[in-house]
Amino acid sequence: MPSGGPHPTPRAGITAAKVLTKDKLDGKADLIALFDGVREIPEVIDGIRCQCGCAGSEGFYSLLSCYEGDGAMAKICHICQGEGKLAIRLHKEGKSLDAIRNAIDAKFG
């Protein structure tokens, strides 16, 4: 189990509609690529608990929450960013959600 609590269950029908787009990312190429990568797999990112300490914040549900809205924490938080990058890479390698969760717990937990 990750520090602070269990990983969330991805919400049925979850979309990336609230994930910030490049026009909100100040032209930062690295961030744009990361947020685009998250946008492609919201059903995976929504099943991950963030380890940076933001998980207790009001309105937070999953790592996906870190990429949503004008106050998206992943714009500035290296842990939110690193978890997103790891999840995207492992998903591309064909890893299951559980395997991705385990990897994030091992590296960031």
Q: Given the rule CB under 8 A, which residues bind other proteins?
A: 3, 78-79, 81-82, 85-86, 89, 102-103, 106-108
8: left (phi over 0), alpha (psi -120 to 50) or beta: beta
Least CB distance to other proteins at residue 97 (A): 16
Least CB distance to other proteins at residue 30 (A): 8
Among residues 108, 85, 100, 97, which one has the least CA distance to residue 14?
97
Least CB distance to other proteins at residue 11 (A): 25
Least CB distance to other proteins at residue 15 (A): 24
- Give Dmax over CA atoms of the chain in angstroms: 36
Report the alpha-carbon distance of residue 74 to residue 84 in Å, rounded: 9
Judge contact between 62 and 46, C-beta under 8 A: yes
CB-nearer residue toward other proteins: 15 or 92: 92
CB-nearer residue toward other proteins: 14 or 77: 77
